[in-house]
Structure 1
Amino acid sequence: MFEFKGGRNKLYYWLTLLSGFVESLFFTGIVFGWASLVFVLKVDGYFAGFCSNTTREEDNALYIDCISQDEHFPRVMSVASIANTIIRLPIGYVFDRCGTTATRLIAVSLFTTGTLFMSLSDAETSLLLYPALSCLITAGTILHITNAQVGNLFDSYRSTIITIYNGAYDSSAAVFLIIKLLHERGVSLQSCFLFLTSCSIIHLLRTFFLMPRGHIPYPLPETFTYGVSCPIRRRGRGEETDKKVDVKNRRADAETSALNVLNKPLYEPKQGEEASFQSCVLSWLFLWHLMWVVIILFCQFIFLSNVNSMLTRLANNDQTLVSQYTNAFAFTQLCSVLLAPMNGLIMDRHKHRPLAPGETKREADLHSSSLALFLTSLQCFLFCVCFTCPVLRLQYLTFVLQVVNSSFFYGGHQAFVSFAFPMSHFGKLTGMVMSLSALVLLLQFPILHLIQHQLQGDPLYVNVGVTLVSLLTFIHPLHVNLYCRKLAKQRKTEQEVNE
């Protein structure tokens, strides 16, 4: 199915691909199973000290008010998501500047710290959840970023591989479901996270033996080598080769990207010169993509932060029913790994046809991406409509749409940045998108406070507003489509002049 460049290294490419898939499936996105873990944390009494005895005004009966406890769980997720987005820009800089090994060592350190905090926490030390979850989500994201470049080992299926990894990233949320099921059978939460801590050795082995020190370039040169298969004498020469490959790759990127990155930029690079980071950031192509990412991320995290409290409210506090729907959501997330490649196939559908006269690979990639971007925007809108409706049974459809949208979104985002802009800026650009998203994600705190206190736990009005905002995401695919038409028109005009 897949065609590789560099036949002598096929085994290494396959090992890198498969080990990266396993890593993505079991470690990178486990935090997105937060709804399953919240159920366990409530059973173990986390933040229970914030509950209080209250008298009901109607009949003067005493009951336990746990609104303050319920506020902490979405707040933990909100803090973690914001910490993750803020740190993305410096991490992207480290990745572009220092390479894969240094970046992954940071991720392994954060993953180990996060799992240790979780294993040391209990009802008395519930506040450890804040740094623990922040470390876990950041570590998973960093590992995921370094794995995205594995798609460069493939020729015609680059976007498909990126989206497969993103599907595994989403499906790893099921790890917290496994912890929930084990907890119901008597396995302690602390034991589960101690096991995850021991798995850090897997990340270290893969970092040193199955990933390059620098980067995997695109296009992939036939001479590109990495890992322990390289003879000891040639390691230094191999590193020099990697650097030369990077320079050569940047020059190749310049030919296809420098003149087309921007629509009306403040700065336009000369022909043969690689587009600068600043010129990429100031392009309309990047700015509309930034808005697209920010809005979809906001919709996703508003839902993930409130899913447990939403189910509790719709189920009239029936914990058996809440557990049933929580399990259904987690099982639905498992399907992400099957759904994500569909977006990659949509983006790669043009790879098997010849390019039009004068058409660049970048232009063809952008044209194919417009459909994928539109479908992602449509899914986001339908997802928002469903979770806005206060009908418990309808949430099954909400779960499906959330998983489909998340699968399309993360893979589409990374694939778009990888071919719309020079690869030498990939880490910084994806990092900047997520870091700027943090400013909008800060709105979660006043919104959560508004829902709990002013709206008495009913998020209907907030959800209606989020649904209306999601309509703005359709601007990005429309702009990309118009941009590609403009490039095609310019190409046709140049051909007529030359004739």
Structure 2
Amino acid sequence: MQRKHSASLCLSLLENLLYSGIIYGWPFLVEVFKNEGYFSELCVSPNEVNYQTLQTFNKTNGTKLDCVGQAERFNLIYTMSSVLNVLFCFVAGLIFDRFGTWICKGLGTILFTIGFILLAKSSALNTSLLYPGMALLALGGSCFFMINFQYANLFKSTRSTWISMYNGLFISSSFVFWIFGNAHEKGVDISVLFMAYIGPLLLLFLLSFVFGPREQIPYPAPKSFRYGIQVSKSARERKLSLPSKKLSADLRDSGLGTFKPQRLTIFSGLGAYLYVMNLFQMSVMSLRNQFFTGTFDSWAQNIGSGNTEGLTAAFGIITAISGLAAPLVGLLDDALTKYYRKRSRDLVLSRIKSSNAFTLFSCICTILLSLCAVIPIPSLQYLTFILLTISRLVCYSYSYISISTHFPSEQVGKLIGLLWTMGGLLLMLQYPLLRFVLRSCEGDFTIVNIVFLGLNILTLAFPISLYLTHSRVVKIIKTAPTDVNGNSMEDNADLL
């Protein structure tokens, strides 16, 4: 059984790497589409406009063209796709909770397949297919991203490490379009690449019937937990493999199966407060990260004075290898959890304290990201790329760990989906922000980056509030009766 668990984990990691976050490689496709003449009719002579920015050369006659309209159209496609990717997480969470893994993954596979076909059929004369094509890739990525996290539950002692790995590979998915771009430069037709990429997608879907559960993997997963098509028809085995809704996963892990669940409720005062603060942090940091990614081409042309090849190559390489750094984040989280576990001897409290440290770390990384982006030194931007990668890794890892720690496992899919959906509404600001930069600031991102810096500083309110809140909880738990293992016998949900 352990071998099957390992195989399932590896396949889900591979799927996350190849497909889940593929839309974030959009900056690398932009160069391909520009070379193919997409939206080239929107490039005009600088004499025909009142501002000069994003000038490029016409390859035919060597004249300069102003391509603000083209840049805005490309950004509009990315904005729409990234917003849908986040908003659909709530729907994907509902589908996952209600119908299970197979149905949710089947839906994602269908969306990806249609999306790749539409992109393959697009051309300079039929650019409208880019909109539904990228949108469907975004929706499919939401489905895959939502279901793959659960495989970390098969490995209780290293769960945080694998969750961080999923986030890292999600970010690294952008390297696929980077490879597509390099292959296109070598003469490979981009349409052929899109169609060929459907093959591995269908193979992974078929393998999910053997190496994936029909419903969900509980946390912590029982040692006898079985899944796959060979046991899907056995109602008795499925019933035995699922935990009781009235039993806290963390309490069962501590051997205290007779006590109430150590969980917050979204309707309690503190539960709602922490959820809203988490929402604020996610919204601001997600907008910062997504805006940087979506406007990378325009930003690189501005800061690199038109020479974007070096910055684009560095951005692609750093993003591609970000998955290798993801386990370090999880290992550090697991180490902190074990450290606090020895001191407080309470699993939930130790996870809360370790995740609080990572929340502070993610805020600091994003602040430094905005600070580096403000400074117009090309060589400094390599550090900006690294900070962007770290910020996204820690931020999204923390959100899943925090929600799964505070709230009941049967509600995790809906709560995380709702969190990302509500935060995704703010991503709609990407397009008007870029129009403001290109048309009012003549391509200078300094003002917007300063505003982001101020907003990122405000996100420090979340880790500070977590520290103040959990300090009060620590005092209550220390005075509460304990069992022979040193675990609090009070109901943490009631205490909170």
Give the TM-score taking structure 1 as reference length: 0.87
1:48 corresponds to: 40
CA contact (8 A) 1:70 1:309 kept: yes
2:458 corresponds to: 472
2:107 corresponds to: 106
Q: 1:378 is matched with which residue: 326, 351, 364?
A: 364
Question: Identity over the aligned pairs, expressed in percent?
Answer: 27
Identify if the C-alpha distance between structure 1 residues 250 and 25 changes in structure 2 by more than 3 Å, giving closer, same or farther: farther
SS in 2 for 1:405: helix
In the alignment, the residues of structure 2 paired with residue 296 and residue 467 of structure 1 have an alpha-carbon distance, to the nearest angstrom, of 10
CA contact (8 A) 1:104 1:143 kept: yes
Amino acid at match of 2:35: V
How big is each residue's C-alpha offset from its partner over 1:34-53, in whole Å with a ceiling of 9 and x where there is no partner?
A: 21111111111111122223
1:149 corresponds to: 150
2:302 corresponds to: 313
1:6 corresponds to: none
Q: 1:334 is matched with which residue: 310, 320, 335?
A: 320
Identify if the C-alpha distance between structure 1 residues 77 and 153 changes in structure 2 by more than 3 Å, giving closer, same or farther: same
Amino acid at match of 2:383: L
In the alignment, the residues of structure 1 paired with residue 164 and residue 341 of structure 2 have an alpha-carbon distance, to the nearest angstrom, of 23
CA contact (8 A) 1:277 1:425 kept: no
In the alignment, the residues of structure 1 paired with residue 250 and residue 382 of structure 2 have an alpha-carbon distance, to the nearest angstrom, of 47
How big is each residue's C-alpha offset from its partner over 1:431-482, in whole Å with a ceiling of 9 and x where there is no partner?
A: 1011101221122232122112222221211110011101122122222222
1:21 corresponds to: 13
In the alignment, the residues of structure 1 paired with residue 13 and residue 335 of structure 2 have an alpha-carbon distance, to the nearest angstrom, of 23
SS in 2 for 1:393: helix
Q: Does 1:38 pair with 2:30?
A: yes
Provide the aligned C-alpha RMSD in A. Answer: 2.7
CA contact (8 A) 2:403 2:415 kept: yes
Identify if the C-alpha distance between structure 1 residues 62 and 331 changes in structure 2 by more than 3 Å, giving closer, same or farther: closer
1:346 deviates by 2.3
1:92 corresponds to: 93
CA contact (8 A) 2:266 2:272 kept: no
Identify if the C-alpha distance between structure 1 residues 54 and 102 changes in structure 2 by more than 3 Å, giving closer, same or farther: same
* Higher mean C-alpha deviation, range 350-359 or range 172-181: 350-359
Identify if the C-alpha distance between structure 1 residues 56 and 242 changes in structure 2 by more than 3 Å, giving closer, same or farther: same
CA contact (8 A) 2:250 2:348 kept: no
Amino acid at match of 2:32: V
1:100 deviates by 0.9
Q: 2:237 is matched with which residue: 220, 238, 241?
A: 241
Pairing 1:180-199 to 2, within 5 Å after superposition: 180-199=181-200
In the alignment, the residues of structure 1 paired with residue 249 and residue 186 of structure 2 have an alpha-carbon distance, to the nearest angstrom, of 54
CA contact (8 A) 1:162 1:344 kept: yes
1:198 deviates by 2.2
Amino acid at match of 1:30: I
In the alignment, the residues of structure 2 paired with residue 351 and residue 57 of structure 1 have an alpha-carbon distance, to the nearest angstrom, of 58
In the alignment, the residues of structure 2 paired with residue 439 and residue 140 of structure 1 have an alpha-carbon distance, to the nearest angstrom, of 18
1:287 corresponds to: 276
2:58 corresponds to: none
CA contact (8 A) 2:369 2:388 kept: yes
Q: 2:334 is matched with which residue: 348, 355, 361?
A: 348
Pairing 1:252-267 to 2, within 5 Å after superposition: 252-253=248-249
CA contact (8 A) 1:251 1:274 kept: no
1:377 deviates by 0.8
SS in 1 for 2:219: coil
In the alignment, the residues of structure 1 paired with residue 318 and residue 370 of structure 2 have an alpha-carbon distance, to the nearest angstrom, of 17
Identify if the C-alpha distance between structure 1 residues 63 and 210 changes in structure 2 by more than 3 Å, giving closer, same or farther: same
In the alignment, the residues of structure 2 paired with residue 91 and residue 62 of structure 1 have an alpha-carbon distance, to the nearest angstrom, of 48
How big is each residue's C-alpha offset from its partner over 1:246-295, in whole Å with a ceiling of 9 and x where there is no partner?
A: 342552249689xxxxxxxxxxxx95697655459952121111111111
In the alignment, the residues of structure 2 paired with residue 465 and residue 354 of structure 1 have an alpha-carbon distance, to the nearest angstrom, of 37
How big is each residue's C-alpha offset from its partner over 1:302-321, in whole Å with a ceiling of 9 and x where there is no partner?
A: 1011110111122222xxx3
CA contact (8 A) 1:32 1:304 kept: yes
Amino acid at match of 1:35: P
CA contact (8 A) 2:153 2:221 kept: yes
CA contact (8 A) 2:108 2:143 kept: yes
CA contact (8 A) 2:85 2:139 kept: yes
* Higher mean C-alpha deviation, range 43-52 or range 411-420: 411-420
Q: 2:438 is matched with which residue: 452, 455, 476?
A: 452
1:354 deviates by 8.4
Amino acid at match of 2:346: T
2:172 corresponds to: 171
CA contact (8 A) 2:172 2:319 kept: yes
Identify if the C-alpha distance between structure 1 residues 423 and 280 changes in structure 2 by more than 3 Å, giving closer, same or farther: farther
In the alignment, the residues of structure 2 paired with residue 22 and residue 329 of structure 1 have an alpha-carbon distance, to the nearest angstrom, of 22
Identify if the C-alpha distance between structure 1 residues 165 and 243 changes in structure 2 by more than 3 Å, giving closer, same or farther: same
1:266 corresponds to: none
In structure 1, list runs of 5 or more residues that go unmatched: 1-8, 258-269
In structure 2, list runs of 5 or more residues that go unmatched: 51-61, 254-258, 483-487, 490-496
Total equivalences in the alignment? 468
2:117 corresponds to: 116
Amino acid at match of 1:236: K
1:171 deviates by 1.3
1:155 deviates by 1.6
1:261 corresponds to: none
CA contact (8 A) 1:340 1:411 kept: no
1:65 deviates by 2.4
1:421 deviates by 1.6
SS in 1 for 2:308: helix
In the alignment, the residues of structure 2 paired with residue 62 and residue 326 of structure 1 have an alpha-carbon distance, to the nearest angstrom, of 24
CA contact (8 A) 2:214 2:232 kept: no
In the alignment, the residues of structure 2 paired with residue 117 and residue 188 of structure 1 have an alpha-carbon distance, to the nearest angstrom, of 15
In the alignment, the residues of structure 1 paired with residue 339 and residue 179 of structure 2 have an alpha-carbon distance, to the nearest angstrom, of 44
CA contact (8 A) 1:347 1:368 kept: yes
In the alignment, the residues of structure 1 paired with residue 474 and residue 97 of structure 2 have an alpha-carbon distance, to the nearest angstrom, of 32
2:388 corresponds to: 402
Identify if the C-alpha distance between structure 1 residues 281 and 486 changes in structure 2 by more than 3 Å, giving closer, same or farther: closer
Pairing 1:61-80 to 2, within 5 Å after superposition: 63-80=64-81
